[in-house]
Structure 1
Amino acid sequence: MSPFKGQTGLKRVLNATGYSIDGLRAAFTGEAAFRQLVLLSVVLIPVTFMLNVSRAERAILIAVCLLSLIVELLNSAIEAAIDRISLDRHPLSKNAKDMGSAAQAVAMTMIALVWAVILL
């Protein structure tokens, strides 16, 4: 067991909730891309309730929006960890950041494709 592990039980859940809120706050205040995706989701998710689609289709339309937010959070975490290690340019650091960016590009493409397939 790691000596860095914290509490257990309800205290752990409360701590984890606080850490998650801190992470969302950091992403929202420090990452323009995250704010843009939140705005996109704030627009698209309510739209799903105005569309004549099945519950399953609505769930998929919402899920791809939320997935893109998850990918952006992970991409931002990778970038922060790389920058914490060193701000020097290194091919492995570039690869890590580029792969995180590519993951977000795939997630955005998935939003476009899923919405197009369901709505067209």
Structure 2
Amino acid sequence: MAEFSKSAVTKETGIRHFFAAAGYSWGGFQRLLQEAAFRQELLFAAVSLILLIAVGASFGEIVIGMVIFLGVFAVEAMNTAVEEVIDRISPEISNVGKYAKDLGSFAVFCMLVAAGLYMLYIIGSHLFFR
């Protein structure tokens, strides 16, 4: 049976792990800001927040909307990660790489539809049914 050697990467523990993870998250956010799609999604979230406040949405409705947008951002981050890995390991065009990228794109699309439907429902209900 083969023995596994220790990882070459030193893992932080305790509070150091928390701060290291926060640093990695900040790096991921900075990388994501380089993506036009993410910047557009941030704009969509900001406009949605302003509209929710303008129509008098409840605090709970606003929180749910922002949680949905956090989901959009998380899925966009995963999609960008998939694209980065595919481009690194398979720079040539391949069906497998295309499918992986298409699936990531579809996941983002689904979250954007969910965000859009929620915004339409809340804003519409406040404008037309109150």
Normalised by the shorter chain, which TM-score bucket?
A: 0.7 to 0.9
CA distance in 2, matches of 1:53, 1:5: 47
Q: Normalization by structure 2: what TM-score?
A: 0.82
- TM-score after normalising by structure 1: 0.88
Q: Which amino acid in the other structure matches residue 62 of structure 1?
A: M
- In structure 2, the partner of 1:61 is 65
Distance across 1 between alignment mates of 2:44 and 2:120: 16
The separation in 2 between residues aligned to 1:62 and 1:87, in whole angstroms, is 36
My pick for the range that moved more, 15-24 or 61-70, is 61-70
- Unaligned ranges ≥5, structure 1: none
Q: Write the distance in 1 (CA, Å) between the matches of 2:65 and 2:55.
A: 11
Task: Decide which of 95, 107, 110 is 1:91's aligned counterpart.
Answer: 95
- Mapped partners of 2:85, 2:98: distance in 1: 12
> Is the Cα–Cα contact under 8 Å of residues 45 and 65 in structure 1 kept in the other structure?
no
CA apart distance, 1:5: 5.3
Q: How does 1:29-108 map to 2 (within 5 A)?
A: 29=34, 31-108=35-112
| Structure with higher RCO (Cα < 8 A, 6+ apart) | 2
Aligned AA (1:33): A
Matched with 1:13 is 18
State which drifts further: 93-102 or 51-60.
Answer: 51-60
Q: Percent identity?
A: 32
Task: Tell me, in whole angstroms, the C-alpha distance in 1 between the residues paired with 2:18 and 2:104.
Answer: 28
CA distance in 2: counterparts of 1:56 and 1:27, whole angstroms: 28
Structure 2 residue matching 1:22: 3-state secondary structure: helix
Q: 1:72-95 CA deviation, whole Å, 9 max, x = no partner?
A: 111101100111112111111111
How many residue pairs get aligned? The number is 119
Unaligned runs of 5+ in 2: 125-130
Q: How far did residue 113 of structure 1 move? A: 0.7
State the Cα RMSD in Å. 1.8
| Amino acid across the alignment from 1:21 | W
Larger radius of gyration: 2
In 1, are the aligned partners of 2:51 and 2:123 still within 8 Å (CA)? Answer: no
Is the 2:52–2:123 Cα contact (8 Å) retained in structure 1? no
